Chain A
Amino acid sequence: MAAGFLARERTIAPPGWSRWLIPPAALSIHLAIGQAYAWSVFKTPLAATLLPGNPNAGVLTALPFELGIIMLGLSAALFGTKVDANGPRWAMVVASSCFVGGFLVSALGCYIGQFWLVVVGYGFLGGIGLGIGYISPVSTLIKWFPDRPGLSTGIAIMGFGGGALIASPLTTQLLAAFGGSGQGATAAGVGQTFLVMGIIYAIFMSVGWLLVRVPPDGWRPEGWTPPTTGVLAGKFDVSARNAIRTPQFWLLWVVLCFNVTAGIGILERAAPIWTDFFGAGAAAAAVTAAAAGYVALLSLANMLGRIGWSTTSDYLGRKNMYRGYLGIGALLYLTITLTTNSSPVIFLICSMLILSFYGGGFATVPAYLRDLFGTYQVGAIHGRLLTAWSVAGVLGPLIVNAIADAQIAAKVEGPARYTTSFIIMIVLLAIGFVCNELIKPVADKFHEERSTATTGAQA
């Protein structure tokens, strides 16, 4: 157990503490670790300064990010129970230390010209910070907002999507300021960028662990009583150990995995997809700018989906929301496949909705877990479920890139390059839809004794 300032007992909210202080605490962590999606900004400077002339520089500079995402899933799964046991402050301090430590080790790697230190620092150490940081506020938010679990976790998980929006321009500007990009870029300039970003994130994330508090046992929002009706009213508690023995967990794992895979199907190759669909006959500069605009629009849809759909789930129910993400998502993919490039407006609307469902799927899943397994060890269960994300992170790009590359090699032009990929996405979404339909309340034999769950309940 964590001791002293980090101990869970020291984070119990005093009387008068507002629960609206918890979302900014969570956001300060998620907005920081969301930087991971802006990793691509570092790729060219690293290739130019630490791997000059290396023919595999493209693959090598992707390694820190890939290792980071793998470590995100692994650490969330491995440390989920510890995060629940030790409380959110401990988790946020550990996450901040690992994430910031990753930047500092990477800075050292740049200064001494050792690229492997960037891989180990950012990818391994920073990746542990990503995993622990991602799940750190989830169960706390659900306990503070039992009346609005979708809204509360949607705010935090929207932050993860928004982190790249901040990091991308910030990194570009720092690299330019320190001589880490452009003509005459130096490894020291890249190192200085890592160092300064590490310091910025250390300060920014500190608000998270300073502000976060857990509610006292038995706390409820004023005037709110737990619902007693509804199939998934969240009346029971299931331990993380038992949760992975239930079919519900694995059905939800498939639902999340395929929903994420389908979103990545467009997100991964957004710019080339726009170019292949609508680039024919247009000036190259205009197509490049339009493709960048398309990527930006998808990012916006992804982020808005996280907060919008997750909040809607508090009213429509989690199962209905996934019916929409998966069922309507499949129909949207079908529409794109059939209409191809006949209407940019239809294409834009469909792809924006698909990306909003992708984000919504991430943000709604903690509340779905809470409905199924209760709040007892929801953070740990969420951590284990995130392995679905790691698998989807490999599966989605693999499907889209491998098929697109094969089509390009076969001299296929335009939207036809993506027809097979999109059909695969439709099938995956349909399978996910069926899995969601099969999710029923967890059997009584997996429920914790109420006294055990109450005394052991930790945020």
Chain B
Amino acid sequence: MTTPDSTQDKPATNTLVIGIIAWLWVLIPFAYGLYQLVIKIPALFAG
């Protein structure tokens, strides 16, 4: 049951924009780090 003063899960438009920017803010550096990691793995199976 949702209480009367609860915030809603469905974000308003501006919250949605903030959300997209916020997730990109953290995911882009994370993807960069992940890429740098993954390119080292093939050496394990090279020989």
Contact = CB atoms under 8 A, between A and B. Distances in A.
Contact of A16 (B15, B32, B40, B45): B15
Given A24-B22, A225-B1, 19 more contacts: A16-B7, A21-B11, A21-B18, A27-B26, A28-B22, A28-B25, A165-B36, A168-B33, A169-B36, A207-B26, A219-B3, A219-B7, A289-B43, A292-B40, A293-B41, A296-B40, A296-B41, A297-B41, A348-B44
17 contacts: A16-B7, A16-B12, A16-B15, A18-B7, A18-B19, A19-B9, A24-B25, A31-B26, A167-B33, A168-B36, A211-B18, A211-B22, A218-B5, A222-B6, A289-B43, A293-B44, A295-B40
A315 interface: no
B38 A220 contact: no
Interface of B: 1-3, 5-12, 15-16, 18-19, 22-23, 25-26, 29-30, 32-34, 36-38, 40-47
Top 5 closest pairs, chain A to chain B, by CB: A165-B33, A293-B44, A289-B43, A18-B11, A166-B33
Contact of A293 (B6, B26, B42): B42
Nearest to B4: A218
Contacts of A15: 5, 7-8
Interface string A24-36: 1101100100000
Nearest to B26: A27
DSSP class of A's interface residues: helix, strand, loop or mixed?
helix
A165 B7 contact: no
B43 A290 contact: yes
B19 A21 contact: yes
A300 interface: yes
A222 B34 contact: no
A221 B2 CA distance: 7
Contacts of B25: 24, 28, 204, 207
A5 interface: no
A399 interface: no
Contacts of B36: 165, 168-169
Contacts of A222: 2, 6, 8-9
